[in-house]
């Protein structure tokens, strides 16, 4: 019996075209009414993700920064794994050399060196404030993650992932959308966050349904007893999934929950 749903946000329950559909909202409300824990597991910063939790009426802890930070509904930090500051400095140097836009996250605040179209695109409709300043003027510590972005060239982002993985195999480096390259602690994975909460709540792996749509969700869906890929997921994620549901626009999340949770409850 499923006791916990660990779900990605963007592209899974949230559509860029329509936001949260009425069916998704109804489904999540029904899950919570049946005492099934719904946990948001996202690459977003916590200060953005908590707005989603509040909008959906969730009081469970939020797993943000790909699993690098878990906070409960009272803003208490339960788990945190930061990117070591020496690596953050190396990534900043690499970005400058290669003319790469990066977002720098320190203590759940967002910093950029240039106020450009990239950061405006990234923050649109996500409840995110940001500060523009030279990173040289900052104390680089308590780094949640670094995010490298090219909103126009997905192949370039793929090349960054491949290059940085070779250079820093000890870090967690992954694409979270075709245009985002995430750089974080090796313990800042979505699976780490799910495993932490399972241990906290004494929930078994087979009692967890996990669902996502991007390559950073591969280890997420492998952390659950049932791993579901959205119909709009990457081919790499679909290859790892136990089940492929419909797209986010067609309420694939709801259809997966109906199949593996509510049909089981009624059987």
CATH number of the domain encompassing residue 103? 3.30.1240.10
Cβ contacts of 185 within 8 Å, gap of 6 or more: 68, 81, 82, 83, 84, 145, 171, 172
Question: Domain check: are 89 and 171 in the same one?
Answer: yes
Q: What is the pLDDT of residue 100?
A: 98
Q: What is the pLDDT of residue 16?
A: 87
Residue burial 168-183, b: 16+ Cβ < 10 Å; e: rest? beebbbbbbbebbbbb
Q: What is the pLDDT of residue 265?
A: 55
End residue of a domain, out of 147, 165, 184: 184
- Number of Cβ atoms within 10 Å of the Cβ of 15: 18
Question: How confident is the model over 188-197, as pLDDT tens digits?
Answer: 999 999 999 9
Question: Domain check: are 103 and 132 in the same one?
Answer: yes
- The two tokens of residue 200 are 């906290």
Is residue 266 very low, low, confident or very high in pLDDT (cuts 50, 70, 90)?
very low
The Cα 267–Cα 263 span in angstroms is 6
Residue carrying the six token digits 């936001």: 19
Question: Domain check: are 172 and 118 in the same one?
Answer: yes
Secondary structure class of 181 (helix, strand, coil):
strand
Is residue 240 very low, low, confident or very high in pLDDT (cuts 50, 70, 90)?
very high
End residue of a domain, out of 156, 184, 212: 184
- Please, what is the average pLDDT of the chain? 96
Question: Domain check: are 171 and 246 in the same one?
Answer: no
Residue 101: how many CA atoms within 13 Å on its side-chain side?
A: 18
- The two tokens of residue 169 are 């195999």
Range of the domain at 144: 85-184
Question: Domain check: are 64 and 143 in the same one?
Answer: no
Report the pLDDT averaged over residues 60-66. 98
Question: How confident is the model over 171-221, as pLDDT tens digits?
Answer: 999 999 999 999 999 999 999 999 999 999 999 999 999 999 999 999 999
Overall number of domains in the chain: 2
Which residue blocks in 148-212 are alpha helix, DSSP H? Answer: 154-167, 190-201
Of 102, 60, 76, 65, whose CA–CA distance to 190 is shortest?
A: 65
Cβ contacts of 38 within 8 Å, gap of 6 or more: 4, 5, 7, 28, 31, 32, 56, 58, 60
Question: Domain check: are 244 and 195 in the same one?
Answer: yes
Residue carrying the six token digits 């930070």: 69
For 224, left (φ over 0), alpha (ψ -120 to 50), or beta?
Answer: beta
Question: Domain check: are 142 and 204 in the same one?
Answer: no
The CATH code of the domain that includes 207 is: 3.40.50.1000
Question: Domain check: are 42 and 65 in the same one?
Answer: yes
Q: What percent of the chain has pLDDT over 90?
A: 95
Question: Domain check: are 148 and 235 in the same one?
Answer: no
Question: Domain check: are 73 and 196 in the same one?
Answer: yes
End residue of a domain, out of 184, 217, 238: 184
Judged against a pLDDT cut of 70, whether residue 19 lies above it is answered with yes
The Cα 121–Cα 5 span in angstroms is 29
Question: Domain check: are 106 and 73 in the same one?
Answer: no
Residue pair 192/178 in contact by the 8 Å Cβ criterion: no
Question: Domain check: are 148 and 57 in the same one?
Answer: no
């Amino acid at each position: 019996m499923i006791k916990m749903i660990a779900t990605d946000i963007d592209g899974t329950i949230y559509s860029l075209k329509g936001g949260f559909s009425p069916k998704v909202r109804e489904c999540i409300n029904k899950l919570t009414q049946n005492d099934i824990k719904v946990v948001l597991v996202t690459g977003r910063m916590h200060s953005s993700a908590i707005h989603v939790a509040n909008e959906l009426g969730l009081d469970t802890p939020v797993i943000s920064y790909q699993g690098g930070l878990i906070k409960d509904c009272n803003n208490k930090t339960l788990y945190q794994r930061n990117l070591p500051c020496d690596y953050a400095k190396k990534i900043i140097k690499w970005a400058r050399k290669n003319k790469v836009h990066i977002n720098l996250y320190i203590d759940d605040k967002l910093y950029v060196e240039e106020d450009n179209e990239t950061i405006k695109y990234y923050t649109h409709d996500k409840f995110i404030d940001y500060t523009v300043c030279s990173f040289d003027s900052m104390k680089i510590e308590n780094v949640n993650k670094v995010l490298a972005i090219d909103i126009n060239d997905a192949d370039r982002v793929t090349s960054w992932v491949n290059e940085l993985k070779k250079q820093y195999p000890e870090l967690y480096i992954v694409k979270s959308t075709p245009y985002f390259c995430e750089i974080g602690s090796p313990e800042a994975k979505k699976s780490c966050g799910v495993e932490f909460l399972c241990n906290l709540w004494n929930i078994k792996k087979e009692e967890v349904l996990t669902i996502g749509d991007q390559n950073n969700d591969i280890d997420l869906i492998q952390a659950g007893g049932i791993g579901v890929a959205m119909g709009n997921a990457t081919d790499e994620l679909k290859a790892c999934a136990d089940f492929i549901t419909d797209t986010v626009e067609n309420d694939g999340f709801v259809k997966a929950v109906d199949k593996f949770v509510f049909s089981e409850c009624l059987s």
